[in-house]
Structure 1
Amino acid sequence: MHSDPNLYDYWPYEGRPRIKWPGGKKLAFWIAPNIEYYEWNPPPNPQRKPWPRGNPDVVGYSQRTWGNTVGHWRMMELFDKYGLRGSISLSIGLIDHHPEIIEACVERNWEFFSHGIYNTRFSYGMDEAQERAVLEDSIKSVENATGQRIRGYLAPALTHTEKTLDLIAEYDFWYTCDLFQDDQPQPLKTKAGRLVSLPYSLEVNDVIGYSVQGWSAERYADVLIRHFDQLLEEGSQSGTVMCIPLHAYLVSQPHRLRAFKRVLKHITSHNDDVWFATGSEIAEHFRDNFWDQTLADIEKRGIATGGTGFAPA
């Protein structure tokens, strides 16, 4: 018997109703630096080691420290040059450890969304009360530090429970980055709220490119440009989304930064066709303008699976 988590419906790309971005733009572009904090000696989790080389790991710890001490500032300067606002995938604990980073992002009107408390504290094994505590702490801590109400969520180290999506929808989050099923936003089936699956591609995540695939800086840049060009071409028919998820300890290394600069120069040269936005801006526009249209199209095609599962508007 076929088993499916019924988080969203199979929704074929061909023939979808058109998505239109503000100003008639073809592609919504957002860039998501992960500003993370890794604990030196985190508590063990039976389902996953926080440091694969052993716990604690001075090598891994110092590399991540470099990201916050050097890499983030180098990245921020590059974004400034091209007029880009980051959408920060934030380890909430970093607010206490590096408030100067938070202040610099606030000065630039960057967005924040939750990436859990620490990237060494996984969701595996959490009960509902613990997950609620993480979400409530995330909302309160960011609001106190920045004045922002966070609307997005990326589970720490991409770890989840079966309750995660329903809980973030209940707490009025607008988007999740934890699903990778599409190049356009899509409604998710939650018990409450209007939670959007927002494209956040693993294919162009620098962790995958550099740490998993072992790409050179030039090859990673070429992949990003090809990815962008294809989505921009398709966006002439219906609005697409491109996200570049980044980690300062990787992309901001001196030997990699100039190649990445070539990517930003290419993308920003298409200003007439690209909506440079944040995660919450894209999710809000979709929720307000295309949520109902999408559900109607799914119903019309008769492709809904396992019941609607969608919360009432």
Structure 2
Amino acid sequence: MTRHADPNLYDFWPYEHRPKIVWPGGKKLAFWIAPNIEYYEFDPPANPSRKPWPRGNPDVVAFSQRDYGNRIGHLRLMELLDKYGLRGSVSLNIALIDHHPEIIEDCVKRNWEFFSHGIYNTRYSYGMSEDAERSMLHDCIMSVEKMTGQRIRGYLAPALTHTERTIDLIAENDFWYTCDLFQDDQPQPLKTTSGKLVSLPYSLEINDVITYGALAQSPARYTDVLKRHFDQLLEEGEQSGTVMCIPLHAYLVAQPHRIAAFEDALQHITSHADDVWFATGAEIAQYFRETYWDQSIQDIRTRGVPRAGTGFANLSGHP
């Protein structure tokens, strides 16, 4: 049995002395918000690798908590983002098109981006065959395009579950970015058999599922964390452009006792408009692919630690 020291999706690339990134308009930091608009089935099919409801399956209490986001939380969050002129990049469980088309319509009216977060957040990639995973990706692409006219370019695996083929398959299907890797504060080219796939900074550290769930932080603490996270990345962006993403779940951040604290963080971030590019995930990935892809790979080759027999697609002269 062959064992690997790491997934071999990217090479080691030291942060210091990389090619300088400057975002459009000379901005130092690219900022995007990723509302997760999800659907959790009440009694999903079993997957031997993971149980969907920690308290037992099915769980009417946990289901109803998540349903709060689709019934109330998303509208509250949308109205807050409207107030600050911010567009969301929606991490979408594609089944929402059937279950709650009115939410999709609200996003379309706001010219929000959509990217794939699988079909349901209770249907995991673990154990999927290559044909099944490829079919799922095609379903995501076609369903969103039919409903919205938009071609999705980003991917976040359902419940952060993958197969060994996921990254190659999304690159094969002309996705521009993945949110499933957490190794950096700047975009990084990934090693795929085809396409030009970027690892786009998402976040677990400031994801409200982690801060309000696993870490049980107070709203005031979460606001402080967001401000300090932003301030540090903005400072570093003076040397080379950074990326900050806030992943959100409306059943958490849009609770009545939390929404005002989140607004406090947005006020702080938007007050630095001269230095911040407020964008979508697809816009950031497209700009990096078109402007910094080749020189980033060249820099990785020059001073990184590439492994024999591996490489990047779409770079002339590179294996």
Q: What's the TM-score, normalizing by structure 1?
A: 0.99
Q: Secondary structure at the match of 2:258?
A: helix
Question: 62, 65, 74: which one pairs with 2:64?
Answer: 62
Match of 2:218 in 1: 216
Q: Deviations over 1:117-144 (max 9, x none)?
A: 0000000010001101110000000000
What's the CA shift for 1:3? 1.8
Q: Deviations over 1:238-262 (max 9, x none)?
A: 0000000000000000000110000
For residues 71-150 of structure 1, the aligned pairs below 5 Å read 71-150=73-152
What's the CA shift for 1:302? 4.7
Match of 1:299 in 2: 301
Q: Deviations over 1:92-137 (max 9, x none)?
A: 0000000000000000000000000000000001000110111000
Q: Which amino acid aligns with 2:117?
A: H
Match of 1:275 in 2: 277
The unaligned stretches of length 5 or more in structure 1 are none
Match of 1:171 in 2: 173
Q: Secondary structure at the match of 2:257?
A: helix
What's the CA shift for 1:4? 2.4
Name the CA distance, whole Å, in 2 between partners of 1:101 and 1:5. 36
Match of 1:225 in 2: 227
Name the CA distance, whole Å, in 2 between partners of 1:305 and 1:204. 32
The unaligned stretches of length 5 or more in structure 2 are none
Q: Secondary structure at the match of 1:136?
A: helix
| Counterpart contact for 2:207–2:247, Cα < 8 Å | yes
What's the CA shift for 1:184? 0.1
What's the CA shift for 1:304? 1.7
Q: Deviations over 1:189-214 (max 9, x none)?
A: 00000000000010000000000000
Name the CA distance, whole Å, in 2 between partners of 1:271 and 1:63. 35
Match of 1:261 in 2: 263
Identity, in percent, stands at 75
Name the CA distance, whole Å, in 2 between partners of 1:241 and 1:307. 31
Q: Runs of 4+ in structure 1 displaced over 6 angstroms?
A: none
| Counterpart contact for 1:36–1:118, Cα < 8 Å | yes
What's the CA shift for 1:308? 4.0
Q: Secondary structure at the match of 2:120?
A: coil
Question: 289, 292, 299: which one pairs with 2:291?
Answer: 289
Q: Deviations over 1:138-168 (max 9, x none)?
A: 0000000000000000000000000000000
Alignment pair present for 1:45 and 2:51: no
Name the CA distance, whole Å, in 2 between partners of 1:132 and 1:296. 31
| Counterpart contact for 2:126–2:161, Cα < 8 Å | yes
Match of 1:33 in 2: 35
Name the CA distance, whole Å, in 2 between partners of 1:309 and 1:242. 27
What's the CA shift for 1:2? 6.6
Q: Deviations over 1:47-81 (max 9, x none)?
A: 00011111110001001111100000000000000
Q: How many residues align?
A: 313
Q: What is the root-mean-square deviation of aligned Cα atoms in Å?
A: 1.0
Q: Secondary structure at the match of 2:222?
A: helix
Q: What's the TM-score, normalizing by structure 2?
A: 0.97
Q: Which amino acid aligns with 1:250?
A: L
Name the CA distance, whole Å, in 2 between partners of 1:11 and 1:312. 19
Name the CA distance, whole Å, in 1 between partners of 2:262 and 2:28. 23
Match of 1:17 in 2: 19
Q: Which amino acid aligns with 1:189?
A: K
Name the CA distance, whole Å, in 1 between partners of 2:122 and 2:82. 30
| Counterpart contact for 1:35–1:89, Cα < 8 Å | yes
What's the CA shift for 1:309? 2.0
Question: 184, 187, 206: which one pairs with 1:185?
Answer: 187
